[in-house]
Structure 1
Amino acid sequence: MLKNYLLPVLAAMLLAAACKQGVKKQSEAINRDTTHYTKQEYIAQALDSNQVGEFLSRHAEFAPYSDLIREFYRKRDFHYAWINEEGITEQAGGLLNMMRQDEESGIKDSTLDKSRVSALYDSIALMGDSLNRQDTLISIAELSLTGQFFVYANKVWGGMTSDNAKDLEWFIPRKKINVESLLDSIIRYPKRALAADEPVNRQYRLLRDELTRVGDLVKKHPQHDSIKLADKKKTYKSGDSSAVIAAVKSRLAIWGDFKEKDTTTQFTPLLDSALRNYQTRMGQKPDGIIRQQTIDALNRPMEHYMQQLLLNMERLRWVPVEVTTDYILVNIPEFRLHVYEDGKLAWSCNVVVGTPGASTVIFSKEMQYVVFSPYWNVPPGILKKEVLPGIRKSGNAYLKRHNMEMTGSGNNISVRQKPGPSNSLGKVKFLFPNEYNIYLHDTPAKNLFSETKRSFSHGCIRVAEPKRLAQWVLRKDSSWTEQKIDAAMNAGKEKYVTLKTKLPVYIGYFTAWVDSQGRLNFRDDVYGHDAKLAKLLFGK
């Protein structure tokens, strides 16, 4: 009875809207060439080409995608894609479900308005045997679904424009999506889930799942943001007892780090373990001590972390869907270098990156050279601010003390530091030529790698395990044994080695990700890039 009651109401409303827009009724019989479709892919119904043009003239929201929509239907001889003889297809339901799930998770955009498409979907689903007699309504629904797909693909899978990315100091080349080909593939293989064809990096999917999880936590624990932990003492450690400790247990239990049903005020070994896990996830020193830094992180609103997830999902829309080759990734906010073999994580180590005033640039290039016992050519800024004043004050004594030498003359004076144990680049550097003059290198200042926040350089990236990296980079060249690498690093004479195969290097900026153990990680916005992106995405 409900079906019989709603059908004429919905159909009348939508048909009236369609008539106002002046969309022509589809002709009763249109013959199309279907020789390039299989029987399973062929949908007998087809649009009139004029319907596509008139639909687009009435729907300005699809104007940016009009060429894509026209070309998509032209290539399939204007056959329907979303609606067949039996009604609405699985793919149409899959698209709407994805849009609903994204909206529920906090992925919102005014151009992703699903209400009109949902109404069309529901009305067609209610038609039953009368489906083939409602041609105008069907054509409106068909074209609306296609238009909405291109909007969705652009916003959710493509992300912001390249110009926006450059404004945010992101210079890694953006991935390219052939959305027309993607739509055709989705339509041709209805049994495959729409989500399986998403052109997004695996990390994007993981963060979207975490966004849903954190959203559920907000619903289950509405008191989280209203009750703040009060720290009456500077630190708490194993053996201590305090109401703050009980509160910390409760917070860690919400996040899933503390899995015991223990609400006592005693600092137990199990709390110590849970706290270290939480501190690791948050980029803090994992020492099992409750201090102000930990309290502050636990007091942050859930909305803060949900926003951080959305910001990093936006960045992940820009990166390659999958990299299956060998490559190196440096994540600046994490202060870590990750080595990948055939697209899988092999090992990682700490790095030191540029200070906020001399930030390391976000870009990608290919490593071409390993340089053993390198000279350090003093950059102009350091030369002007530090070295030349030292030379004017102490002359050759300054140069000798720093193992440096001057080259050039007159106004073209330059200074370089000779190879040796005190060289600022250490015993090896790794070059991926770029306009920013940034590279990976060793350093004599090993103590800085033990710091939690490691932004101390002038922009280049210092590597905690340079010998291991040299061995890995040269591992496919049997002539470069461990002994030969050791000798070259300590030779005191500069030696360039050209790589037989160039190696991609990505310098990225991610403040939220899921690690290899499945743990959700967050890091501080060391350069303020999150804040800039938040202004564009959220207006704040």
Structure 2
Amino acid sequence: MRKYIVFLILFILGSSLSMFSCKKKDDTSLKLPPTINTLTEVKSLPSFDSTLVNTFFKHYPELQKYQQETTELYQKRKYQYIWFDNKGILEVSQILYGKLNNMEDEGIKTDIPYKEKLETLFQKTTEDQNATVNDELLLTSLYFFYTHKVLKGIDSQKSSELGWYLPRKKKSYVNYLDSIIANPSLINKNEKEVLGQYYNLKEMLKKYRKIQKNNSWDSIVLDSSQISLKLGDSSQTIAQIRQRLFILEDIATDSKSSIYDDVLKAGITKYQNRNGLRENPIIDKRIIASLNVPIEDRIKTITVNMERCRWIDVDVAKAKELIVINIPSYRLKYFKDGKPVLVSNVVVGKDMNKTVIFSADMRYIVFSPYWNVPKSIITKEINPGIAKNPNYLSQHNMEWNNGVLRQKPGPKNSLGLIKFLFPNNNSIYLHDTPSKNLFNEEKRAFSHGCIRVEKPVELANEILKDDKNWTPEKIDSAMHSGKESWYTLKNKIPVYIGYFTAWVDNEGVIHFYDDVYQRDDRLATMLFEE
């Protein structure tokens, strides 16, 4: 009997060692730090008392804005621990800790609430990282702090104060945490949460901060003996410009030459194209002033546009057709299946008549349109014109119709030969114009709020391309008929009017645009106050 018991003990011990050996082999393949427990190792802790949530926020008032979401989260999870298991702190907690400590990479300068308590938690040894309710709720609150700052951005009321009426994305960060817990690495891949442009700007932020750190940014000064510089000229200013363009990657090498050569000319052209400047090989005070914009200002511009990206619903890019107008770039882009099929210069509202930032669905095209003159224009422009010239209305092809002043269809009509309607409360639409010369201007904020399109014929042809009712010839005929006619589109086209002063193109080149409505500084102030 005694031999049998010894044999049984040895058998059980051998089996245990064998099982341990297999387990050890599996664990080593994960190659994770000893302080991190993986989800496959999780053993649930007992649920905690729900009343402790209120108690926590009484002691942590700086996090109270996240109390509602925290309560919703734990009600859903029946007050089970999220960030700990019976062995200590989990991998997802470590990832969150890293993201919190690197929020500046997201263009956000902020103080982490109760950071000293957070640091104390993660400085503990594995044995001391056992779960407490306070630690659990601190991590949850800071998770919401992170998602609100990095993924959501400032609240919609504040963005509306900046004249931003594009629909804000709606996202439950309670539900988002479920996917993070299932796959912690997703927190490093938020493409489904934020517009892809955000990550392009994030890379540029890294690049420009590196430039700031590694390079002096002394002002470039035009030689006092010269008003401007042209190809073949020699000046020490040329060498300074060459160095600046090399730092900004507008030229590939810095030869140190002080002679204005073709390489520098190509770099000047590239710089002008990506900074909203008209192409001009002559170096004058204007381009030097642009080159002298402090690197800190460029960094600020990048960060405020990262913030604007947080407000855009990522599903926008999934639309089969989409028309986008960026006010600061004075540019319209028409997308089909995610690819641009038309790019056109536009004229937008002047400062006193700002074009509104909003979206609506294009439903109609109007050929040979009347222009119903707004009352504000009648008061400010038409009535003074009539007072000076009794024949003002007839000379401008205008007439009264049922108490409404309108301009008759024709080539001199202020709306041109065609307009594109997306009904909205702002009375904004796209239209042709007889004032074609304005599209040659560098800054094109001249309208009363509506958007003038340089390529209206091309836009109409592209919109109606697959409509059997129309051919290019019929479109041209309708535009020149002198009789207003409306056509209802078979498919509504979303139109988004946005405001971005920095944008990274498909080639990875960053473009900066004039802050035409002076909104960047105000947004930067809001971000600092958050």
Same fold (TM over 0.5): yes
| Counterpart residue number, 2:426 | 436
| Counterpart residue number, 2:32 | none
* Contact 1:121–1:141 (8 Å) recurs in 2: no
Instruction: Provide closer, same or farther for how the CA distance between residues 350 and 307 of structure 1 changes in structure 2, counting only shifts above 3 A.
Output: same
- 1:335 and 2:325 are equivalent in the alignment: no
* Contact 1:229–1:299 (8 Å) recurs in 2: yes
Decide which of 496, 506, 515 is 1:506's aligned counterpart.
496
| Counterpart residue number, 1:300 | 293
| Counterpart residue number, 1:469 | 459
Structure 1 stretch 252-261 or stretch 106-115: which is displaced more?
Answer: 106-115
Q: Secondary structure at the match of 1:350?
A: strand
Decide which of 125, 135, 146 is 1:141's aligned counterpart.
135
- 1:267 and 2:260 are equivalent in the alignment: yes
| Counterpart residue number, 2:28 | none
CA distance in 2, matches of 1:418, 1:482: 24
* CA-to-aligned-CA distance 1:510-534 (integer Å, 9 cap, x gap): 1111112211111111111123223
Instruction: Provide closer, same or farther for how the CA distance between residues 401 and 272 of structure 1 changes in structure 2, counting only shifts above 3 A.
Output: same
Paired residues for 1:480-499 under 5 Å = 480-499=470-489
Q: Secondary structure at the match of 1:479?
A: coil
- 1:375 and 2:376 are equivalent in the alignment: no
| Counterpart residue number, 1:127 | 126
Instruction: Provide closer, same or farther for how the CA distance between residues 46 and 205 of structure 1 changes in structure 2, counting only shifts above 3 A.
Output: farther
Paired residues for 1:301-380 under 5 Å = 301-323=294-316, 324-325=318-319, 326-380=321-375
The alpha carbon displacement at 1:452 in A equals 1.1
- 1:156 and 2:150 are equivalent in the alignment: yes
TM-score (normalizing by structure 2): 0.87
| Counterpart residue number, 2:101 | 100
* Contact 1:61–1:111 (8 Å) recurs in 2: no
Instruction: Provide closer, same or farther for how the CA distance between residues 479 and 247 of structure 1 changes in structure 2, counting only shifts above 3 A.
Output: same
| Counterpart residue number, 2:245 | 252
* Contact 1:308–1:512 (8 Å) recurs in 2: yes
| Counterpart residue number, 1:533 | 523
Work out the percentage of aligned pairs sharing the same amino acid: 42
* Contact 2:144–2:173 (8 Å) recurs in 1: yes
CA distance in 2, matches of 1:159, 1:497: 40
The alpha carbon displacement at 1:198 in A equals 6.0
* CA-to-aligned-CA distance 1:185-206 (integer Å, 9 cap, x gap): 1111235453336611111111
* CA-to-aligned-CA distance 1:461-500 (integer Å, 9 cap, x gap): 0001001111222233221111111111111110111122
Paired residues for 1:233-248 under 5 Å = 233-248=226-241
Q: Secondary structure at the match of 1:61?
A: helix
The alpha carbon displacement at 1:385 in A equals 2.5
CA distance in 1, matches of 2:105, 2:310: 19
Q: What amino acid does structure 1 have at the position aligned with 2:69?
A: L
CA distance in 2, matches of 1:531, 1:62: 27
Paired residues for 1:510-525 under 5 Å = 510-525=500-515
| Counterpart residue number, 1:398 | 392
CA distance in 2, matches of 1:510, 1:195: 23
Structure 1 stretch 102-111 or stretch 162-171: which is displaced more?
Answer: 102-111
The alpha carbon displacement at 1:77 in A equals 2.6
Instruction: Provide closer, same or farther for how the CA distance between residues 85 and 384 of structure 1 changes in structure 2, counting only shifts above 3 A.
Output: same
Q: What amino acid does structure 2 have at the position aligned with 1:436?
A: N
Instruction: Provide closer, same or farther for how the CA distance between residues 344 and 60 of structure 1 changes in structure 2, counting only shifts above 3 A.
Output: farther
CA distance in 1, matches of 2:264, 2:114: 45
Instruction: Provide closer, same or farther for how the CA distance between residues 116 and 263 of structure 1 changes in structure 2, counting only shifts above 3 A.
Output: farther
Number of residues of Structure 1 aligned to a counterpart in Structure 2 = 487
CA distance in 2, matches of 1:491, 1:146: 65
CA distance in 1, matches of 2:396, 2:198: 47
Q: What amino acid does structure 1 have at the position aligned with 2:313?
A: P
Q: What amino acid does structure 2 have at the position aligned with 1:493?
A: K
CA distance in 2, matches of 1:54, 1:148: 17
Name stretches of at least 5 consecutive residues in structure 1 with no aligned partner: 1-38
CA distance in 2, matches of 1:110, 1:95: 16
Paired residues for 1:277-292 under 5 Å = 277-292=270-285
| Counterpart residue number, 1:11 | none
CA distance in 2, matches of 1:210, 1:46: 46
Q: What amino acid does structure 1 have at the position aligned with 2:122?
A: Y
Instruction: Provide closer, same or farther for how the CA distance between residues 153 and 253 of structure 1 changes in structure 2, counting only shifts above 3 A.
Output: same
| Counterpart residue number, 1:231 | 222
* Contact 1:201–1:316 (8 Å) recurs in 2: yes
* CA-to-aligned-CA distance 1:249-301 (integer Å, 9 cap, x gap): 11111111121131110111111111111111111112233221211122121
The alpha carbon displacement at 1:388 in A equals 2.7
CA distance in 1, matches of 2:106, 2:44: 37
Q: Secondary structure at the match of 1:452?
A: coil
* Contact 1:43–1:79 (8 Å) recurs in 2: no
CA distance in 1, matches of 2:63, 2:113: 11
| Counterpart residue number, 1:6 | none
Structure 1 stretch 196-205 or stretch 102-111: which is displaced more?
Answer: 102-111
Structure 1 stretch 172-181 or stretch 62-71: which is displaced more?
Answer: 62-71
| Counterpart residue number, 1:13 | none
CA distance in 1, matches of 2:115, 2:361: 42
CA distance in 2, matches of 1:475, 1:114: 58
| Counterpart residue number, 1:389 | 384
* Contact 1:366–1:433 (8 Å) recurs in 2: yes
Aligned-pair Cα RMSD in Å? 2.2
* Contact 2:47–2:80 (8 Å) recurs in 1: yes
CA distance in 2, matches of 1:167, 1:336: 24
Instruction: Provide closer, same or farther for how the CA distance between residues 374 and 342 of structure 1 changes in structure 2, counting only shifts above 3 A.
Output: same
The alpha carbon displacement at 1:145 in A equals 1.5
Paired residues for 1:164-203 under 5 Å = 164-196=158-190, 199-203=193-197
Q: Secondary structure at the match of 1:170?
A: coil
The alpha carbon displacement at 1:115 in A equals 4.5
The alpha carbon displacement at 1:103 in A equals 2.1
Q: What amino acid does structure 1 have at the position aligned with 2:351?
A: P
Decide which of 434, 448, 453 is 1:458's aligned counterpart.
448
Structure 1 stretch 468-477 or stretch 439-448: which is displaced more?
Answer: 468-477
Q: What amino acid does structure 2 have at the position aligned with 1:277?
A: K
